[in-house]
């Protein structure tokens, strides 16, 4: 049986790319040294896939930051402000991703958004009116040749033209339609170049096909690919989709004459039905995405083989390619790094490297049709042999949730008046999202405590000292609402999971979120409940250090669920409600200990939102929004509930966000040029808002003038009495010097605005 992998993690087994890139940013290594590390990672990835006998291995799945940005660079979609810096090709690439502040200029980064329904972020390409779309880059070709020299024949993967155009931002008077011909020519030139260097297969990734598509969308897709397929030469073309089914475009896709079509059978609820009812072309390879690229549980071989046997009745056996459902970018690198997890747990998990073994196993079983195989027997046992993960008390509590538990009283307008009187905050109150820089001494303190090198008393004494310093800094700067800095937290989800029953934790199961930012999602193993108070101690101490209001900082249930690897044996709804009840206990505990403002972050609210609008409420929002309300519904009217969201498309779910019934919401807006503001106004958004006034994912310091300009723009859509002033996300990854300078300018801007209004 032929096998394929859409993409492999590019961070390296031990996050080598992250550390090398950060050294390059600091000027500690040269570009050549960074490229050397990258080549080693690619070489190891190729070796692993070759050893697993993967038939179709991808090249160009590697990136220093993001594959969408790679595609922009390949086709000269580089805004003039970055070209004007006059720096090297790689430095220009990083300037678009991270921004640039130095002797060559001062420019903000391009917008960053969530990649469909994942926690990975892509960089939004900007197409200017005078952009000359043409093939200029060489990375993709060099990496194919590199793999070929290593003895691995690869299919060359690239973001397809339809998805690229639909995700791009057109910044001038010209729109998407004005650039279709240019992109079609550029991609044709790309195919010609692939033919020249001997490429046999090219993969066009078109995940946008799993969204709701209009007739115009389908016409755009078909017109582009009719031209490309007519000019493809000898190279074979694989049209690869993932993250759902392509029900709107299925007939068009299979009728165009692709050499291969990749379909997602994991998240694609209607994929099998489409293949069965609409048929599949006789001479086309079906790349069947049956190995989950987004979760870490072992594949159920019996179930997968059953689907393959059903497909065999529709598609010739030799034309079925066993594939991952999406890129393995979204799972950790290897279980080999997990030395503390017992085999009782590990035998149930498969990270990227282990999924290669699963693909090989399933292919072998499919070819042999050996129902008595020892491999199959061992796999079957995994789905009955589980450490007890059921907690009857938790399940009973969920079953007893009443409709009234989802409603907070009194209504927002009454609470708003009560809170303004009680808190006495000025117009345009200033605050931060929560975390402050996690400096080396903070990380060292946490690591030494985990390793038993210091006592609990020493660990807590250090944290209290950092909290006191952080609060003193915020008072010096003049912030109105203080946070404690979160120095005790390794991660906004893992930290909470460590205090909840039902979780399993890893040592090195890192997954790329964006650029050099990696996260280590915990694993939801069983029923979830709060074992102990989680944040109360630190919030109480912070409150004792200041007379200003202190925000208690929590992560919301939907984000905890979405940024964990979820169970597959119960519904996401049930798992989320369990978490919601645990966080509700923490909210009430904070309130009982005198914390008047409590922020419940839902940064990942949108991540599991179905990609089709018709499924939004029936499959997600009808329980995700109530889960948040359940967390906050028990507090007093005078307790102010905040929430935070970042780096997603929010404009089309504004009514749902308002229905969360928080008192204040902060969200990312700086990279997206405050586009969300018009939607707030159109929907008569009642909640008080803090659109981020500067981008914390860039090291540049915003000027007072820049922040005032942003605030003035916000005031066109948000009433003065409802407008908060804050960065667009937490400050954990930033340096101390730039953080202080940025916050000083933020407070100065708020004061300037108050003076102007008064």
Would you say 168 and 176 are in contact if contact means Cβ atoms under 8 Å apart?
yes
Q: Exposed, middle or buried by CB within 10 Å (0-12, 13-18, 19+), for 463? A: buried
- The pair of structure tokens assigned to 612 is 């089709």
H/E run at residue 507: none
Beta strands in 28-152 (DSSP E): 57-59, 100-102, 105-107, 112-114, 121-123, 126-127
Would you say 316 and 280 are in contact if contact means Cβ atoms under 8 Å apart?
no
Number of H helices, E strands in the chain: 29, 23
Q: What's the rounded Cα separation, in Å, for the pair 346 and 382?
A: 11
Would you say 686 and 413 are in contact if contact means Cβ atoms under 8 Å apart?
yes
Beta strands in 357-468 (DSSP E): none
Annotated catalytic residue 330: no
H/E run at residue 645: strand 640-645
Q: Which residues, in sequence order, are CB contacts of 539 under 8 Å at separation 6+?
A: 484, 550, 552, 553, 590, 593, 595
Would you say 323 and 288 are in contact if contact means Cβ atoms under 8 Å apart?
yes
Q: What's the rounded Cα separation, in Å, for the pair 635 and 642?
A: 12
Instruction: Give the three-state DSSP class for 729.
Output: coil
Residue 8's beta-bridge partner residues? none
Q: What angle do CA 728, 734, 738 make, to 5 degrees?
A: 95
Q: What's the rounded Cα separation, in Å, for the pair 240 and 231?
A: 19
Count the residues in the chain. Answer: 758
Residue 336 per-residue DSSP state? G
Active site positions, annotated: 697
């Amino acid at each position: 049986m032929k096998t394929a992998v859409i993409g492999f993690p590019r961070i390296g087994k031990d996050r080598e790319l992250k550390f090398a890139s950060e050294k390059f940013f600091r000027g500690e290594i040269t570009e050549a040294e960074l490229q050397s590390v990258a080549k080693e990672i690619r070489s190891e990835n190729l070796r692993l896939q070759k050893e697993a006998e993967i038939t179709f291995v991808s090249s160009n799945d590697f990136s220093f930051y993001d594959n969408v940005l790679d595609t922009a660079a390949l086709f000269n979609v580089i805004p003039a402000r970055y070209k004007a810096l006059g720096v090297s090709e790689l430095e220009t690439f990083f300037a678009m991703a991270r921004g640039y502040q130095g002797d060559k200029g001062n420019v903000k980064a391009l917008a960053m958004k969530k990649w469909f329904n994942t926690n990975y972020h892509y960089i939004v390409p900007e197409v200017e009116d005078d952009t000359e779309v043409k093939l200029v880059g060489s990375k993709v070709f060099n990496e194919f040749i590199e793999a070929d020299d290593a003895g691995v024949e690869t299919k060359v993967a690239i973001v397809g033209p339809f998805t690229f155009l639909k995700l791009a931002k057109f910044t001038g008077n010209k729109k998407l339609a004005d650039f279709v011909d240019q992109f079609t020519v550029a991609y044709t030139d790309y195919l010609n170049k692939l033919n020249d260097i001997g490429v046999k297969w090219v993969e066009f990734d078109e995940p946008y096909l799993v969204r709701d598509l209009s007739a115009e969308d389908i016409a755009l897709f078909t017109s582009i690919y009719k031209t490309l397929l007519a000019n493809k030469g000898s190279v074979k073309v694989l049209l690869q989709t993932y993250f759902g089914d392509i029900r709107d475009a299925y007939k068009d896709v299979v009728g165009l004459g692709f050499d291969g079509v990749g379909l997602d059978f994991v998240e694609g609820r209607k994929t099998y039905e489409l293949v069965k009812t609409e048929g599949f072309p006789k001479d086309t390879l079906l790349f069947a995405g049956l190995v989950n690229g987004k979760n870490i549980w072992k594949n159920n071989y019996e179930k997968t083989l059953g689907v393959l046997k059903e497909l065999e009745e529709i598609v010739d056996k030799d034309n079925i390619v066993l594939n991952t459902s999406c890129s393995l970018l979204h799972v950790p690198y290897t279980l080999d790094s997990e030395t503390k997890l017992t085999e009782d747990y590990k035998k149930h998990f498969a990270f990227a490297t282990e999924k290669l073994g699963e693909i090989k196993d399933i292919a072998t079983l499919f070819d042999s049709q050996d129902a008595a195989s020892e491999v199959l027997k061992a796999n079957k046992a995994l789905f009955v042999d589980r450490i007890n993960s059921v907690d009857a008390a938790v399940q009973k509590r969920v079953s007893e949730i009443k409709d009234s538990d989802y409603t907070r009283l009194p209504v927002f307008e009454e609470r708003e008046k009560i809170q303004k009187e009680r808190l006495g905050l000025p117009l345009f109150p200033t605050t931060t999202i929560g975390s402050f820089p996690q400096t080396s001494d903070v990380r060292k303190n946490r690591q030494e405590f985990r390793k038993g090198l210091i006592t609990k008393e020493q660990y807590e004494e250090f944290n209290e000292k950092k909290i006191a310093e952080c609060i003193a800094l915020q008072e010096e700067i003049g912030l109105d609402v203080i946070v404690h800095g979160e120095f005790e937290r390794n991660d906004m989800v893992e930290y909470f999971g460590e205090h909840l029953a039902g979780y399993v934790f890893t040592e090195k199961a890192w997954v790329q979120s964006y650029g050099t930012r990696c996260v280590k999602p915990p694993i939801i193993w069983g029923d979830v409940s709060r074992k102990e108070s989680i944040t109360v101690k630190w919030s109480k101490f912070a409150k004792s250090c200041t007379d200003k209001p202190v925000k208690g900082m929590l992560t919301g249930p939907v984000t905890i669920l979405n940024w964990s690897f979820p169970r597959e044996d119960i519904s996401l709804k049930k798992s989320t409600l369990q978490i919601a009840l645990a966080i509700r206990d923490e909210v009430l505990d904070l309130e009982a200990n005198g914390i008047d403002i409590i922020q419940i972050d839902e940064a990942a609210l949108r991540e599991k939102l179905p990609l089709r609008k018709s499924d939004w409420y029936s499959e997600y929002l009808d329980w995700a929004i109530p889960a948040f309300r359940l967390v906050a519904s028990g507090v007093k009217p005078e307790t102010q509930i905040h929430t935070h969201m970042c780096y997603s498309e929010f404009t089309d779910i504004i009514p749902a966000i308002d229905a969360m019934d928080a008192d204040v919401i902060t969200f990312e807006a700086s990279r997206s040029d405050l586009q969300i503001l018009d939607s707030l106004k159109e929907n008569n958004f009642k909640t008080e808002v803090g659109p981020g006034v500067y981008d914390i994912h860039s090291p540049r310091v915003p000027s007072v003038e820049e922040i005032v300009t942003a605030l003035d723009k916000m005031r066109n859509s948000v009433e003065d009495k409802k407008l908060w002033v804050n960065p667009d996300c937490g400050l954990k990854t930033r340096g101390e010097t730039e953080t202080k300078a940025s916050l000083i300018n933020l407070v100065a801007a708020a004061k300037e605005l108050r003076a102007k209004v008064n």
